Structure 1
């Protein structure tokens, strides 16, 4: 699993095809998508185009996609997987993640993936994680998926999978940036032999601007003053410093961009190394600020499957 991947959240199908093709030409070999992003077809098209051009072979690419929260029942895992395989149309999936530990009402309506009742309560259901994980294992046994993992799970939920699995999670994907470092959870996963990939490593400036507009005292991670002397010292951008800091923590990064200049910049982080003191100074910036927070209803926040409840500090 390459240390730097191309994230595709919020990119349209056509944007994704162009971005994937450009990324592969630049040297990216790790692409991250999801059923919920509605761009798996675009990702697959970009990969197939580059295979047809002779630039890569299928085995050169590490492709991650995810089981959506509307399919967290044993009988629906296969349904979602087959849809993803058909949309991607590249044979197999390298890493298949449970996108969330929290299950929403199973639905075929892909325009409403967070269904609510008349009172505005989200329609959720209890997930049998053991049974769902067994179906994930079957996907590996079938050869359609090479490895499996989880996303947005907390330590308690990961430990449950470990205690009830034949194939342990290969990877945990979580929000991870300088203001939300998740040190304890990262250390826990590494101690269990589970790799960690971080989405939003650049903090998602658009979402942070919304938090600021809502009255929260937040600074865009790219404007963090601590980074300025490092940018001058290494002749690197703020984004490159942030990504380098993550990979030196043994965290795989999947920054999202469709801008070729930024995509190339995000990849060019292997010609310098932060010192231990610099790493420690950045580590002091943690604010435990979760940027990717959806406006869930009260019943979601109180669900036993909600991963960020008061009894689950990490």
Structure 2
């Protein structure tokens, strides 16, 4: 697995710094994409209940194991608890469904996807529920984060999950969670790209030995197919004069510059691609180093532009995080 770096979490578990993101991976091609990615060398696969493709991901994993490409213990399989399952009994329900869909005995990493507790939707009624909260529209449950986290900790104690993390949390929520947590979060997954650097949040997490994981490393590119007005109006990071000039200097693609900017700052990445040549390129990014000045210049592109913002999800009751 050339140029792959491993990071040790605060519970001693080692995971790859470069993973494969399963968001928006089509159900029809997911199994083959996972198989191909394993063949390339990827060992971490970042999924979620809300992505609606875990059965297919499980098929790809099984095929790779059956063909002798990897053993189960070689892989880091990730999922996320959706908003509708924050009550303790539903956390257990959700992990059982995830493990059944993936055809696995345990999960390596399980995140709380958002710090938002929506009304429970039975699996028999709609799965994954997405933003559907029943016929009355957007509804919520009064489940504190600490209660949900305690249920996540119980999954670790039962051996169903090895590491637990949080996603889309801000600093104040993390600070509050740390006050009651028996198991400190191992990971924090956030939207992270040069338009949304979040340096103080990253420093706070790293100072507390919580591994930061970046999603949407290419910024607006990830949201164009979702018809996001913000993404459509933003200048593509692939077309940024700064990124293009640095890419030209190193004779690499602009995407490789964006990914290396993250990994060189000890951030884990989970890019996705449907093309095998891009799969390989995204995997082999730690073979050169940006200068500290180049890293600072890229970080200076920050304009606080968040694309995955619950405030813009279209709810009648806007959600703050």
1:124 CA displacement: 1.8
1:90 CA displacement: 2.5
Q: Following superposition of structure 1 onto structure 2, how do residues 36-47 of structure 1 map, counting pairs within 5 Å? A: 36-47=50-61
Report the counterpart of residue 221 of structure 2 in structure 1: 205
Q: Residues 73 and 220 from structure 1, CA distance in 2 versus in 1: closer, same or farther, beyond 3 angstroms?
A: same
Report the counterpart of residue 284 of structure 1 in structure 2: 300
Extract unaligned runs of 5+ from structure 1.
Answer: 308-314
Report the counterpart of residue 312 of structure 1 in structure 2: none
Paired residues of 1:153 and 1:172 also in contact (CA < 8 A):
yes
Paired residues of 2:231 and 2:307 also in contact (CA < 8 A):
no
Are residue 110 (structure 1) and residue 110 (structure 2) matched? no
Report the counterpart of residue 295 of structure 1 in structure 2: 313
Output the CA distance in 2 between the equivalents of 1:161 and 1:78. 20
Report the counterpart of residue 96 of structure 1 in structure 2: 110
Residues 208-234 of structure 1: CA deviation (Å, up to 9, x unaligned): 587785797411111111012211111
Report the counterpart of residue 134 of structure 1 in structure 2: 150
1:12 CA displacement: 2.2
TM-score with structure 1 setting the length? 0.91
Output the CA distance in 2 between the equivalents of 1:300 and 1:165. 28
Which of the residues 1, 24, 32 maps onto 2:46? 32
Report the counterpart of residue 231 of structure 1 in structure 2: 247
Which of the residues 53, 62, 84 maps onto 2:76? 62
Are residue 242 (structure 1) and residue 258 (structure 2) matched? yes
Which of the residues 244, 269, 291 maps onto 1:275? 291
TM-score with structure 2 setting the length? 0.89
1:112 CA displacement: 4.3
Aligned residue pairs, count: 302
Q: Residues 178 and 117 from structure 1, CA distance in 2 versus in 1: closer, same or farther, beyond 3 angstroms?
A: same
Q: CA RMSD in A?
A: 2.0
Please identify runs of 4+ aligned residues in structure 1 that moved more than 4 A.
116-119, 208-217
What secondary structure is seen at the aligned counterpart in 1 of 2:17? coil
Q: Residues 45 and 171 from structure 1, CA distance in 2 versus in 1: closer, same or farther, beyond 3 angstroms?
A: same
What secondary structure is seen at the aligned counterpart in 2 of 1:124? coil
Q: Following superposition of structure 1 onto structure 2, how do residues 6-25 of structure 1 map, counting pairs within 5 Å? A: 6-25=20-39
Paired residues of 2:50 and 2:129 also in contact (CA < 8 A):
no
Q: Residues 211 and 219 from structure 1, CA distance in 2 versus in 1: closer, same or farther, beyond 3 angstroms?
A: farther
Which of the residues 147, 159, 183 maps onto 1:167? 183
